[in-house]
Chain A
C-alpha cells in the first residue's frame, strides 16, 4: 500500500545525562517497610522484593504468579488495577509483565513484576481476577507474551490482519498493515449456560450492534445472540479507536505527550493532563505552584461536571428523552467557554504543563466560575425532576444491567460504576492530591449497581463537585506564578528569552533536549470522570519516555458488559451501556 509512511522524528543522539542519581521515589522508604510486611504474610520464596520503588514491589517467578496473586487476594488486595508489559530488549528475559493490585481495605497498592523471555509463557490469572482476561489479551497483542490456559487469547486492540507486536521496542512505529473486508473477524457469542438448554418458542438470532451504531457512542462493537427478546449470549470487540497512545508517547518528548493525554478521555481532558503532568512532576521531584494547583483542581471539577453531563445527557437520549440533552448542553457550553477563556481551546485544552500551567487564568476566572456554580444546580435539579418521577424512565433503569459488588471489584471497576455498587472508593479521598483533603465534600454511593444507581451517583457527584468548587472560589486563587521557576522543566518567559543569554540557551536546550527525568519508574493516579486514571511512566534518562502506561478506567468496566447484559433485553442493554459512560479514546488508548 502506497500510503505507508515512515515515522520521521529525528532520534535524539546527543549525550544522555550522566552523573545523575537514579530516581528515588518519595514513598520508597514506606513502600519498602510495607513490602517486607507483605512478603512475610504471603511467605512465598518465588516473590523477591524489589526495593526503592514507589509501591511495594515484588519480582515474581513466572510459574508462581498464580500462587502469589491468590495469596495477595487473600491479603485484601482484591481489586486488580492493571496488567501490562514493558519491553527491555537488551535483557535475556526481555519482557516485564507488571501486575498492580489495590487493597480497598488498607488503601494501598502493590506491584508484581514477572520476567519472561520471548518463548516463555505465563500461567493465566483469569480465574483469580476476571479483569485480567482482557488485560492479558492486551499484553499478548502488544508484546506477544503468551498466557497458558487463557480461554480466548487473541488480539484485542489491533485488527485481525495485523502482524507483529507493536509495543516491542524493535517495532517500527509507523509500520501499518492492511485490513480488508475479508479479514474482519466473525464474532459468535458463547451462549450463557443458564440459557443453553432452555426451550422457548423463539428462534435464536445473532445480532450485531456497532461499531457504527447510535447507541454505541463511538466505536464499540457488541454481538448478541437473542432468544426472542432476551440476550442469551454477548460478545464485544474493541480496538476501533486504537490510536496507539503508548507507542506515540515513546516517540515523543515528555511535553509532547501532553496533547495525547487530552485525547484519552476527551470528555474530561484536563483531568488526564493533570494526571500525566503530576506523574512526571513526581519523577522530577518538583511540585506545581499553589496557584497552578488551584486552577488544576477547579478545572478538574468543571471537567468532571462536563463529563457527567455528557454521560447523563446522551444516556437519556438513548432512552428517548431528548430534552435533557438539549437542556444540559447549555451549561456544558458555558463550562467549555470558561476553559476557552483560560487557554484558547474548548474541548481538548492541553492547558497544563509539567510543572504548572501554560498561562495564567484570566482575571475574571473566579467571577465566571461563580456564575457557573450559581447556575448549575438549577439544571441538575430540573433534570432530576424531569426523570426521577418518570415511570417509564424508572422502569427502564431500575434493576437493569446490574452488577454485584463482588463482581465489580473482581472486574477492576473504579469510579462512579464502582460507587454505584456501594464501595466508597474515590481516589480524591483515598489518596488525595491537589489538596482535595482540605475540602469538605462527600463520596456518594448507591446500592444495587444497576443503571439507576449509576444515575444517582453521577447526579450526586455533580452536586459534590459544585460543593468543592464553591469552597475553591471562596478561598480565591493563591497569588504567585503558575509554573515552576526551573529552566530544566519550564520554558523561561519570552521577555527573558529575547534579552538574556542564559534564558535563550535554556529555551533552546529544553526545546531540543526536552525534560529528562532521572532513571526510574513511577505510578500515579487521579480520579478521572470514569474512575481511577493512572499513569505508569518508566524513564531511561533520555528526553523520550521509555514507557508510558495509561490505566484506563473504562477498559475493565466495558469488559464486564457482556456479563451485565446477558439475560436482559436489547433496549435495557442500550440504557445500561450509556450509563457506563464508555469513552472509546480511553478504552482503546
Chain B
C-alpha cells in the first residue's frame, strides 16, 4: 500500500522514524521497532506508521514484563536488590512484582531448585497464562551449580522450558537486569512463540 499524506497533521502526535524510543520520547517523538528499516523518504512530517500486529504486541510485551520471583535461595536476595532502590528495574518496566502466577508473565527462577520443589515449580509454571517467559537466574537454576548431589535438580530445564539463562552465583543485580533486557529483545524480535 503506498504511503498517503494525512490532511491534518496537527491532530496526531508528530513522530520521527528511526529514532530510539528513549531519546525520542523526551522530545515527544515515538517510534516502533522495525520502523527504521522502512523506506522513509516520503514520510517526513507524516503522521502514521505501518507495522504488523505481532511487532506491536511484542514491543508492548517486552517492555511490560510482570515478573513472578520464584525465589528460593541466595539469588532471591539479589533479585530483591534488583527491584529495590539502588538498581530499580522499574526503568525497564519490569517492576510490577506479582506473587500470583495468574497475574505474571515472566517467571524468574531465583535459586536452587531441589527435587522436592520440582512439582511445585511445574505447577506454578502451568498456572501462568500465556504468553509466559522463564529466566533461570544463577548457576543453580541453570545447571544445579556446584550442588551436584542427591537432592538438587540439575537445572530447571528438567521440568520447564527456559528462555534466558543468567550466569553467576549469584548473578549481580545488573547481571539479572541484563538478562531481562536480553529477554525483552528476544520477545521483540518475535523469537519466542508459544501458546
A residues adjacent to B (C-beta < 8 A): 3, 5, 7-8, 157-159, 162, 166, 171-181, 183-184, 211-214, 218-219, 239-244, 247-248, 259-260, 262-263, 266-267, 310, 314, 325-327, 329-330, 332-333, 336, 346-348, 584-585
Task: Judge whether B85 is part of the interface by a CB distance below 8 angstroms.
Answer: yes
Report whether A244 and B85 are in contact in the complex, using a CB–CB cutoff of 8 Å.
Answer: no
Report whether B146 and A259 are in contact in the complex, using a CB–CB cutoff of 8 Å.
Answer: yes
Report whether B85 and A158 are in contact in the complex, using a CB–CB cutoff of 8 Å.
Answer: no
Q: How far is the CB of A8 from chain B (nearest CB, A)?
A: 8
B154's contact among A3, A247, A314, by CB below 8 Å, is which? A3
Report whether A241 and B84 are in contact in the complex, using a CB–CB cutoff of 8 Å.
Answer: no
- Note all chain B residues with C-beta closer than 8 A to A247: 149-150
Interface centre among B99, B116, B123 (most CB of A within 10 A): B116
- 8 more contacts with CB within 8 A, not counting A159-B114, A240-B116, are A7-B148, A158-B151, A219-B117, A266-B73, A310-B77, A346-B78, A348-B169, A585-B73
Report whether B74 and A180 are in contact in the complex, using a CB–CB cutoff of 8 Å.
Answer: no
B residues adjacent to A (C-beta < 8 A): 70-74, 76-78, 80-81, 84-86, 99, 111-112, 114-120, 122-124, 146-152, 154-155, 158, 169-170, 172
Question: A interface, by DSSP: helix, strand, loop or mixed?
Answer: loop
Report whether B118 and A241 are in contact in the complex, using a CB–CB cutoff of 8 Å.
Answer: no
- Note all chain B residues with C-beta closer than 8 A to A172: 150
A347's contact among B78, B123, B150, by CB below 8 Å, is which? B78
- Note all chain B residues with C-beta closer than 8 A to A219: 72-73, 117
- Note all chain A residues with C-beta closer than 8 A to B111: 218, 241
Report whether B149 and A244 are in contact in the complex, using a CB–CB cutoff of 8 Å.
Answer: yes
Q: What are the 4 closest A-B residue pairs judged by CB atoms, nearest first?
A: A266-B74, A159-B116, A214-B99, A329-B84
- Note all chain B residues with C-beta closer than 8 A to A240: 72, 114, 116-117, 120
Chain B's closest residue to A211 (CB) is B120
- Note all chain B residues with C-beta closer than 8 A to A214: 99
A212's contact among B70, B86, B169, B170, by CB below 8 Å, is which? B70
**A241 in contact with B99 given A3-B158, A7-B148 (CB within 8 Å):** no
Bound complex: CA A219 to CA B147 (Å): 17
**How many contacting A-B pairs (Cβ < 8 A)?**
135
Bound complex: CA A330 to CA B85 (Å): 7
Bound complex: CA A326 to CA B80 (Å): 10
Report whether A176 and B99 are in contact in the complex, using a CB–CB cutoff of 8 Å.
Answer: no
- Note all chain B residues with C-beta closer than 8 A to A329: 80-81, 84-86
A159's contact among B81, B149, B151, by CB below 8 Å, is which? B151
Bound complex: CA A3 to CA B118 (Å): 14
Interface centre among A171, A178, A212, A242 (most CB of B within 10 A): A212
Q: How far is the CB of B120 from chain A (nearest CB, A)?
A: 6
Bound complex: CA A578 to CA B32 (Å): 44
- Note all chain B residues with C-beta closer than 8 A to A166: 150-151
